[in-house]
């Protein structure tokens, strides 16, 4: 069974640009969450989608947005990139309800 797939693995963007990251969950999983990991702030929750609806949102500015498609694949978008957005962005998928989350390998975003 394939795991959580995130693309691309690495990205370099310039300040002010926007970026879209993609996540394909484990087959059959309907919940997708996104996390940001930085050396200073650690792992922080961005948002969760379940059946195309955002169910929960972390404390991030509106520049961070996401969506989920009918096949459960999810995208995360960051507009007007700032240097501080440089991080490892991790996607996690769950079956739904109270089940464990499985993480992808992450997308390393560098903003220059």
The DSSP code sequence of 65-107 is EEEE-TTS-EEEEE-S--GGG-EEEEEEEE-SSS---EE---E
Burial of 73 (0-12, 13-18, 19+ CB in 10 A): middle
Q: Which residues bind other proteins (CB under 8 A)?
A: 4, 6, 31, 33, 35, 42-43, 45, 48, 50, 55-56, 58, 90, 92, 94, 96-98, 100-106, 108
Q: Residue 22 CB, nearest distance to other proteins (Å)?
A: 15
Q: Residue 26 CB, nearest distance to other proteins (Å)?
A: 12
Q: Residue 34 CB, nearest distance to other proteins (Å)?
A: 11
């Amino acid at each position: 069974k394939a795991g959580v797939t995130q693309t691309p693995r690495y990205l370099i963007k310039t300040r002010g640009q926007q970026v879209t990251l993609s996540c394909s969950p484990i087959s059959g999983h309907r919940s997708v969450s996104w996390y940001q990991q930085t050396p200073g702030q650690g792992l922080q929750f961005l948002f969760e989608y379940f059946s195309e609806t955002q169910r929960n949102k972390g404390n991030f500015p509106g520049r961070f947005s996401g969506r989920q498609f009918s096949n459960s694949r999810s995208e995360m978008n960051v507009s007007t990139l700032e240097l501080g957005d440089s991080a490892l962005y991790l996607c996690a998928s769950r079956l739904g309800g109270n089940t464990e989350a499985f993480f992808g390998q992450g997308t390393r975003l560098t903003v220059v």
